[in-house]
Amino acid sequence: MMLHRMLATALLFLLALGTPAALAQGRTETVLAEGWRFHLGETGGDATAAGFDDAGWERVAVPHTWNKVGNYGVTRRADANTTRGIGWYRLRFTLPAIARGKRVHLQFDAASIVADVWVNGRKLGRHEGAFSRFRVDATDAVRPGNNILTVKVDNSKPEPGSATEFVVPISGDFFMYGGLYRPVSLIVTGQAHIDMLDHGGPGIYGRVTSLDDAAATVAVRTRLRNSGLAGRVTLRTRIADGAGREVARSEQRLDLAAGAITERETALTIARPRRWNGLDDPYLYRTSVELVDRAGTLLDRVEQPLGLRTVAVDADKGFLLNGRPMRLNGVNRHQDRQDKGWALTQADYEQDMALIEELGANSIRLAHYNHATPFFDLADRNGMVLWAELGLVNLASIPGQADTPPAMKANAEAQMVELIRQNYNHPSVGVWSIGNEITNWASKGLTPSNARPLMQALDAVAKREDPTRPTTIAACCEVLPGEKDDGRDRTAGTADTVAYNLYYGWYTSGRVADAARLGPVMQGYHRENPTLPVGVGEYGAGGAITQHTDNVDGGKIESIYRPQAEEIQAGVHELSWKELKPLDFLWGSWVWQMFDATSDLREEGDSSDINTKGLVTFDRSVRKDAFWFYKAAWSKAPVLYLTGRRYVDRAYPVIDVRAYSNFAAAELTVNGRSLGSAACADYVCVWPRVRLAPGENAIVATSGGQSDRIILRYSGPERAIHVRTGTLEGVTLADGTRYGSDNFFDGGLGFTLNPYQRELYAANQARKPAKVAAGAREPRLYASWRAGKAFRYALPLPDGRYRVTLHLFDPVETAPGKRVFTVTPSGGAPVRIDPVARAGAGLTAVTVALPAAARDGVLTLDFAGVTGEALVSAIDVVAE
């Protein structure tokens, strides 16, 4: 009788946990990719009901997004879909026979932004947040045979009363795609399992507690959940090396009460450990945890990566990996891709990582949210140090309210927990970021801000979840070193480190040369905050591969409109890196950004709805010039690359030829004729004033056994030149006359008559009427100008006599005598010019003709202000 009762008790326990034959497999996962039905918008009827007719819905596969945003072209693509709202998904699935008597969970790797889940008409839960994995327990809703899974996702804009009102991020310069854009799967475990409901995390968390050459100690914490009857189980923890050999093992026996949620931690020692050491040696161990019942049946099993390493950040030495300084030279990455949005494949992740590796970067900032697990896995295996970031951008509160609403704070904290638990075991993660550019936007008329309390709370959450890694924050728009405090938010100091997002040469003065401020500003931040590790979270410039300029200093940059010449981007990066490279105290710097990415706020360069600052195009097909600059600066591979190859048809017969190289020098030939060797200082080699022959020109650079070749064409006149001054953009008139962008000048500054109205960009208002110079037969020649007290043009022309025509107008003065200047042509006398007196009014076009002579291959024009500054808006020079 006693034996009978014991057997009966054991049988009940086994039934509660599942049958032994089934449980021998432990955890099983079925990917639910095919067979989905999708509907965008509201439905006519209860779409959650099991019997709802969805036959007319679109057939889709998951991952899936309904949005299609971003294209190269100055008008939005005809098939664009920027809908922000509700999307419905339904799937008929068969419950696997193995699920009988077990726990059944549905796992969503991400759903944007808010997701509600039903099975067979029964609601299982809601998740708020677009970027994290979440799971729901479907055990009590599923049934043998056929089942209906229904998911409603909502990516509505965060407006008052919307489902997303308090779901971070509520602001951001990137498009929030909607849909089930990462995989969905059905997971079966025993009734007792490694906690499937632990904020989307793996339920096991390993940390290095000691590490030296002799031994490493790893503490593995496991969360357990028992949804069945009470019983005794064995918790078996193993660590295997890279070859799969077991190097450490622990077993714990414990009694699990019915409904118990508990944690157990065990310490394991690894003899003669091999460190995870970034790109040099990204060696990985694996941690596996098994849960076994009294009869030896496997109930559940989870495996996670383990890298033996330490990370820290020092205010003077920067980032420390395994106690040694490691300068983080990195890029920012968004997860979207042209024509796919956020619905990526493993091949997409691998291509992104391969391009970043080719560049020579050793770090990636995962901007501005929790990225997909496959990318973390690749970083582990490839040795990339990751900056993992919470999706909190710009605003710490809803518009019009300074303090963070409790619901928004709770959501941000919940997403912080998800970010850390889901990625805790990845050795590639070097820092946790609590947010990006949380600043006082009241100065821009948008909202007041009291951000520090929220940021301090998030930092506390991060330290509670993971005290082994430092925290950081990306700061923007804060008071500059030496400036007076004007009351705006200062989020620097709310985390262990800070990285400043600084776009000198782009968003500042609109001049490439302004990038030289980056170094002094960072030195100032370090000087004023000597105990706070500082870095640069973002820097860069836009680059359109179909737009080009003849001189990057020719005019003011339109940083949020058009054009955005590829050469401008390269110039900003050349100067920025020259400033950053010697700053050993920086804990890291990250280029914004590796790939062009979606932003439906932007009309930039040669694109619509794209942020053009990527080093690689949105579709990953073209490495821009700036990519090759960093490859020369960062990569160990030999690099020799001629720039400007996409600017094939040149406006001028004389150009500077440039190359990027990590060789000390390189030699150039043009059409087989050697132009000699040029030193490659700061990875840039320049051959100035190279004359092109009519037609095609073969340009070849060689060095160290490497060579690169491009073809450039010049089809313009030999004894004439046309310059559109003050601008980065050339123009071809209806009669075929081609004006290059401003070039061959020394001194002065370029200006635009109708600069992009930045204040209206943020407010989404209509542009003001454009100004036009009265009487202009060709207004484009009077849309910009070069001005200064003294400046010169040295135009490359064959020796001889020429007639010069100056196109002039006064954009400011309206009365004669307010602006008077002289122009002295080579071979001629000074000519005194008052543009208002000559035109009869201000903002009125006039031309002035004068003779000149070219000597030694150059025709010069010297401008000098007599009253006010001299100016000129276009120059024509033709042979007499």
Catalytic residues: 437
Q: Tokens standing for 312? A: 């820290």
Q: Rounded to an integer, what distance in angstroms lies between the CA atom of residue 825 and that of residue 448?
A: 56
Cα-only R_g, the chain = 32
User: Which pair of tokens denotes residue 421?
Assistant: 């638990």
Structure tokens at 567: 């050469």
Question: Do residues 242 and 285 make contact, with C-beta atoms less than 8 angstroms apart?
Answer: yes
- The two structure tokens encoding residue 147: 């089942």
Q: Give the whole-angstrom CA distance, residue 42 versus residue 48.
A: 12
CA proximity to 541, closest of 579, 578, 515, 580: 515
Which tokens is 514 given? 């302004």
534: Cβ contacts below 8 Å, ≥ 6 apart: 315, 497, 498, 499, 500, 522, 525, 526, 585, 586, 587
Report the alpha-carbon distance of residue 748 to residue 639 in Å, rounded. 36
Q: Per the omega criterion (within 30 degrees of 0), is the bond before 530 cis?
A: no
* Under 8 Å between Cβ of 36 and 59: yes
- Amino acid at site 14: L
Q: Using CA atoms, how far apart are residues 220 and 780, in angstroms rounded to an integer?
A: 69
Residue 613's SS3 state is: coil
Distances from the Cα of 90 to the Cα of 108, 174, 184, 328, 803, angstroms: 14, 28, 12, 45, 75
Angle between helices 373-382 and 406-423 (to 10 degrees): 40
Reading the block at residue 222, the tokens are 């496991």
3-state DSSP assignment of residue 139: coil
Alpha helices in 18-117 (DSSP H): 20-23
Write out the two tokens for 77: 């693509």
Phi then psi for residue 822, to 5 deg, are -115, 150
**Burial of 818 (C-beta count, 10 Å sphere; 0-12/13-18/19+):** middle
With CA atoms as reference, report the closest residue to 302 among 193, 379, 417. 193
